[in-house]
């Protein structure tokens, strides 16, 4: 299936974003570790549903599809659950995403985990047991979810956990989110520089409200920046655990003013102050694609750094962003690993209208949709990939005035 997307005149509207999947997935695991019953109230996207379905699943083989968060968190959860045996697997792309650093750290804590196929990659055979814990080290520049997975199960370790993180830490706000949520469930945690100590103990039941997803909000910031049409987003908190709330500051330079009112956020056209947008996104890599496309669509050169883990995401986000942006005339480059740049020059577009291949990446599909505001029309293949984090994305675009026409190339009549 392909969606043809057109955009001419948009209309202001109030958008209900999906719940933060980062918060929801952490709370799902914390509820399980605290002995609380599971709820499916917040299973608003595939990633959250995969996590909730797997918790307590007694099947021997657990297939979490392309839910990367679930793969990391469940590896630690199953390894620390005595008397259980699981084979944890996922989609072909998931089996290409490295998990060796997490497995080695869990083994150092006493876990019994075996690679079924390729060393360092899923699928995994996991024998659950009481982990000893103690002194563990892990690299910080691969995935913050490895660190989060270790922290979440740390109170259940016999000796607790003293975790030393080596090198630069990517996506640090997600680790800080984990620590704050753990404390809400009664964990005792101390932090000093790149060391985190978690005392052994038990989690206490807690009720935490799950706010809307700031990462999902980024596509509406992009829409407002390009269209200059105001939008209102429901249940976004100014005082949030989500690092991607930094988009309010970034987009302030790109012509979007953010105001907060009774739990909602209003996005309004504002002055553009960036002539050359520069940002280190090591803490917020999930908004790199959105910032890159917004700058390009507004004709603002940019340099984005701190993106060393993007090739390990749902697709190689640097390579795919470069290849797909060329289809609509933008020659992005990556002169140094972990960077994306654009000088401001346009190139002839080889495909009219352009058909973007998101390569199985939900964020790639959502990032390119607002390009229709500039190109007049854009096509996106495999549009269902947005179900991973924002299933009603296309419906929300139509409410705002985008025109979306589905078609199946297989059904076109051949001459």
Q: Annotated active-site positions, please?
A: 286
- Phi/psi for 362 (5° steps) reads -60, -40
Residues 310-320 as b/e (b if ≥16 CB within 10 A, e otherwise) read beebbbebbeb
CA–centroid distance for 306 within its chain: 16
8 Å CB contact between 161 and 169: no
Which CA distances in Å does 218 have to 263, 370, 390? Answer: 17, 11, 12
Q: Residue 121: how many CB atoms within 10 A of its CB? A: 17
Segments of 50-184 assigned E as strands: 61-63, 85-89, 112-115, 124-127, 134-139, 161-166
Tokens of 46: 């595939």
> Do the beta carbons of residue 155 and residue 200 sit within 8 Å?
yes
Tokens representing residue 323 in the block: 């290849």
C-alpha dihedral (387, 390, 393, 399), degrees to nearest 10: 130
């Amino acid at each position: 299936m392909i969606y043809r997307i057109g955009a001419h005149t948009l209309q202001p509207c109030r958008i209900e974003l999906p719940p933060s999947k980062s918060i929801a997935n952490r709370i799902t695991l914390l509820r399980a570790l605290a002995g609380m019953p599971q709820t499916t109230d917040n299973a608003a996207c595939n990633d959250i549903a995969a996590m909730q379905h797997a918790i307590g699943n007694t099947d021997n083989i657990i297939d979490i599809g392309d839910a990367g968060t679930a793969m990391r968190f469940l590896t630690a959860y199953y390894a620390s659950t005595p008397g259980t045996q699981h084979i944890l697997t996922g989609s072909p792309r998931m089996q290409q995403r490295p998990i060796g650093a997490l497995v080695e750290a869990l083994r150092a804590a006493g876990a019994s985990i075996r690679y079924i196929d390729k060393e360092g990659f899923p699928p995994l055979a996991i024998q659950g047991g009481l982990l000893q814990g103690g002194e563990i080290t892990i690299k910080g520049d691969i995935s913050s979810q490895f660190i989060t997975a270790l922290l979440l199960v740390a109170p259940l370790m016999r000796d607790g956990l003293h975790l030393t993180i080596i090198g630069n830490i990517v996506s640090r706000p997600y680790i800080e989110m984990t620590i704050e949520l753990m404390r809400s469930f009664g964990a005792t945690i101390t932090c000093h520089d790149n060391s985190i100590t978690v005392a052994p103990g038990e989690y206490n039941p807690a009720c935490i409200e799950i706010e809307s997803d700031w990462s999902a909000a980024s596509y509406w910031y992009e829409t407002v920046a390009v269209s200059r049409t105001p939008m209102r987003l429901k249940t976004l908190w100014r005082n949030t655990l989500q690092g991607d709330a930094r988009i309010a500051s970034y987009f302030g330079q790109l012509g979007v003013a953010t105001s907060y009112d009774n739990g909602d956020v209003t996005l309004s056209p504002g002055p553009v102050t960036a002539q050359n947008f520069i940002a280190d996104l090591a803490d917020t890599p999930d908004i790199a694609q959105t910032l890159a496309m917004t700058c390009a669509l507004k004709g603002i050169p940019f340099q984005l750094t701190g993106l060393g883990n993007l090739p390990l995401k749902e697709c190689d986000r640097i390579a795919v962003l470069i290849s797909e942006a060329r289809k609509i005339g933008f020659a992005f480059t990556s002169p140094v690993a972990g960077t994306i740049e654009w000088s401001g020059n346009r190139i002839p577009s080889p495909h009219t209208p352009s058909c973007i291949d998101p390569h199985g990446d939900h964020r790639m599909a959502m990032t390119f949709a607002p390009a229709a505001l500039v190109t007049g029309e854009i096509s996106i293949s495999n549009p269902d990939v947005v179900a991973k984090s924002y299933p009603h994305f296309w419906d929300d675009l139509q409410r705002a005035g985008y025109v979306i026409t589905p078609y199946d190339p297989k059904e076109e009549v051949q001459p």
